[in-house]
Structure 1
């Protein structure tokens, strides 16, 4: 498939873009997965520390926030301070999940209004595609790209999946009317286009197959490794029943939905990020995502990107195994690397079952794992066999990756390397990477406030420790506001 390169050209207006549609897919062949490649072991993040500092410098706040109005800085500082105060966050989560809010329309309306004015405005891009595109326009004017994410999760049935697919397709269609490359990726949650109960069933069968290779499922389309010996298998303590004919038909429906979305993305040359979820359903998500990659990633530029969560103990091994399998099959893999967003859920479940949690024991171990995986993928990207999205809010990881790009002489604008942060988080890192010449995107979740409450709650739960422990953004914003105030006084 011949692909048009999405060139980064700043624009002050939303100019229409017309791309000739062409569909392409390729069937995958099945074979036993090759042995996992050895990932590099890193002690320190990069060689001399000065290399990291030169690759990414956040000290000049005037340059960093040159395009950000003071009012926007003040709002961000206020939101970050509130969300860093854990008692307030705990109270907010308790109120949103309370029975009073669940059963009272009036109470729910008050809570939704409060959320819209605070967390929603800070983390989300709007209630619909049109509002999200206005938010994206502001980013584009500032030299940043956007990842449009329709923030729906956990569909219950096929009707809900079909409705969600329609919204995902609408999002992709909207990008054809935006400036070329203002949108770097579309995004999908498999839990929104495949019933969660089916993902749990498929994951059970894949875990049992990992325990007993002779129990290979007849419905498997490919042999990409989705689990390894280090993967958490405690979710499936006994042999699960095979899929029923109805479940197999539903699984085919899920394949069809994902293939339709991938095909539409391929038509407009827009890569698709498949989000990771919690470990009870992640094997099935990887299985579906790898099938999409096997069909649509046969050219030099990947359309389908899967996600690896570095806080999982098995992440390095699974990344190496999947990469090796893709190379053997002639598939160009795209991976998004994240630290992980289901810590509370994973620890609670594992503890209830009396087993060790699947995540690393400390944040330092997670940082080391993330950086190791990032360096591994950058090496692969430098040789043209893969592409990577480094989704991180961690300054040190940003410096490590930036220095590695320079060391590999890849060029800071290399389209195989993208950095990404959530809207409303790590603004200093995003702007610093942008100023250094890297491709940077902000993750733009959108949807009606009451529909994206699960997303907002997870942001609050999983990021409150991060926000309270890391004051980088608050310090940078405060430094810049003081500088502006001092300059205003001196000019009088």
Structure 2
């Protein structure tokens, strides 16, 4: 397989499992997202009608939800997961419910993550699940932990319960032989998250990487954070699990840095971010004996860089220590063409009830509009495939 020409332009492969009807829906959605004002108005209208409890869930279910989510429940994702399997693409189960801030809600999220892992255990096509640690603890407690402020007795007990929730989920992942990706979050809570994640790595990543931390390469410090974490874990004979992304909180990070008068943690420009992202890929492949890596990216250049790196370094394209990952409903030209060439590819498959995943869906719409060229690329690829099919 090594040496085969890889192309991200083959729309027949990219959309091979899409019906004409599904393709026309994609055309409509990405065409709409090409217009930021229309997208903002649409998001506002959707939020409003949901708050007013107007009967629009059916419309959302057939449009945004259909495009970006796998199902409303674990069992509801089965069709999506089986369809991905036919194209040699794995699934990353993602319970995309946000906004809990009670102990009861945190406990319910823990139980849902455990159910998610038990469901993953029934399928070889679900090697990975993902979670945010803010699903299990109050955001302000993480701020306090990172700031080094003293906890009250009540807060201390809450933090202990939080750590136990995370450990129970990690133990369940390892028991079922599944990888668990832990998402990155805002820089003012990230070190507190890192402390918990690395403790889990030291406990569970002795034979291989089960627990993964996420590195946002749009941060100036991310490449150093990655290499330092690896060297420390390797000195303890533990493996590093690294998911590499560019990042999701740039505007919020810059606004807070300016407001509070500290150095902007974000790279000065896109070129610096792209450089560090590819250097991080280089580092991981150079240390593949003790690092497992997931390239979570919709960037074609970085995806091609990793594909060529795998071949040039003599790493098997099917080596389970290396994965490419994209969001369900996006960048199918990357996912499906890489999978066709024998690389490990996984799609994030979010699930949850329509009203509960709306924050996720709105963020997808906003991000597609905000990322320069992302929606235009998706739209033009769909347009090209529709034209090819007519021909």
TM-score where L is the length of structure 2: 0.93
Shift of 1:292: 1.0
Structure 1 residue 82 corresponds to structure 2 residue 32: yes
Match of 2:42 among 85, 88, 92: 92
In 1, the alpha carbon distance for the partners of 2:265 and 2:39 equals 26
Q: Secondary structure at the match of 1:331?
A: coil
In 2, the alpha carbon distance for the partners of 1:256 and 1:202 equals 16
Query: What residue is the counterpart of 1:434 in the other structure?
Result: 339
In 1, the alpha carbon distance for the partners of 2:368 and 2:264 equals 19
Structure 1 residue 116 corresponds to structure 2 residue 21: no
Q: In the TM superposition, what are the counterparts of 1:369-388 in structure 2 within 5 Å?
A: 369-381=276-288, 384-388=289-293
In 1, the alpha carbon distance for the partners of 2:151 and 2:21 equals 56
**Does the CA contact (< 8 Å) of 1:165 and 1:193 recur in 2?**
yes
Cα-Cα RMSD? 2.1
Shift of 1:184: 2.2
Structure 1 residue 393 corresponds to structure 2 residue 305: no
Shift of 1:359: 1.4
Match of 1:361 among 263, 268, 272: 268
Structure 1 residue 194 corresponds to structure 2 residue 137: yes
In 2, the alpha carbon distance for the partners of 1:377 and 1:405 equals 11
**Does the CA contact (< 8 Å) of 2:14 and 2:332 recur in 1?**
no
Query: What residue is the counterpart of 1:286 in the other structure?
Result: 194
**Long gaps (5+) in structure 1:** 1-50, 206-240, 487-492
Q: Secondary structure at the match of 2:178?
A: coil
In 2, the alpha carbon distance for the partners of 1:245 and 1:412 equals 51
Query: What residue is the counterpart of 1:217 in the other structure?
Result: none
**Does the CA contact (< 8 Å) of 2:240 and 2:291 recur in 1?**
yes
Shift >6 Å, 4+ stretches = none
In 2, the alpha carbon distance for the partners of 1:412 and 1:263 equals 29
Match of 1:341 among 230, 248, 252: 248
Match of 1:332 among 229, 239, 245: 239
Q: In the TM superposition, what are the counterparts of 1:171-190 in structure 2 within 5 Å?
A: 171-178=116-123, 180=124, 182-190=125-133
In 2, the alpha carbon distance for the partners of 1:187 and 1:244 equals 31
**Long gaps (5+) in structure 2:** none
**Does the CA contact (< 8 Å) of 2:14 and 2:334 recur in 1?**
no
**Greater share of residues in helix:** 2
Classify 1:342/1:324 alpha carbon distance in 2 versus 1 (closer, same or farther; 3 Å): same
In 2, the alpha carbon distance for the partners of 1:436 and 1:161 equals 41
**Does the CA contact (< 8 Å) of 1:413 and 1:437 recur in 2?**
yes
Match of 2:177 among 263, 269, 272: 269
In 2, the alpha carbon distance for the partners of 1:454 and 1:286 equals 25
The size of the alignment, in residue pairs, is 390
Shift of 1:354: 4.2
Shift of 1:358: 1.9
In 1, the alpha carbon distance for the partners of 2:196 and 2:145 equals 10
Structure 1 window deviating more from structure 2 (431-440 vs 452-461): it is: 452-461
Shift of 1:163: 0.5
Classify 1:318/1:55 alpha carbon distance in 2 versus 1 (closer, same or farther; 3 Å): farther
Structure 1 window deviating more from structure 2 (464-473 vs 414-423): it is: 464-473
Query: What residue is the counterpart of 2:20 in the other structure?
Result: 70
Structure 1 residue 424 corresponds to structure 2 residue 336: no
Query: What residue is the counterpart of 1:22 in the other structure?
Result: none
Give 1 or 2 for the bigger CA radius of gyration: 1
Q: Deviations over 1:136-166 (max 9, x none)?
A: 1111122211000111234312211101011
Shift of 1:95: 3.4
Q: In the TM superposition, what are the counterparts of 1:165-314 in structure 2 within 5 Å?
A: 165-178=110-123, 180=124, 182-205=125-148, 241-299=149-207, 301-314=208-221
Shift of 1:174: 1.1
Structure 1 window deviating more from structure 2 (127-136 vs 316-325): it is: 127-136
In 2, the alpha carbon distance for the partners of 1:465 and 1:123 equals 17
**Does the CA contact (< 8 Å) of 2:320 and 2:344 recur in 1?**
yes
Q: Secondary structure at the match of 1:307?
A: strand
Shift of 1:355: 4.2
In 1, the alpha carbon distance for the partners of 2:188 and 2:76 equals 34
In 1, the alpha carbon distance for the partners of 2:229 and 2:335 equals 29
In 1, the alpha carbon distance for the partners of 2:45 and 2:85 equals 36
**Does the CA contact (< 8 Å) of 2:94 and 2:349 recur in 1?**
yes
Shift of 1:440: 0.4
Q: Secondary structure at the match of 2:185?
A: coil
Shift of 1:457: 2.5
Shift of 1:101: 5.7
In 1, the alpha carbon distance for the partners of 2:132 and 2:206 equals 23
**Does the CA contact (< 8 Å) of 1:86 and 1:468 recur in 2?**
no
**Does the CA contact (< 8 Å) of 2:92 and 2:348 recur in 1?**
yes
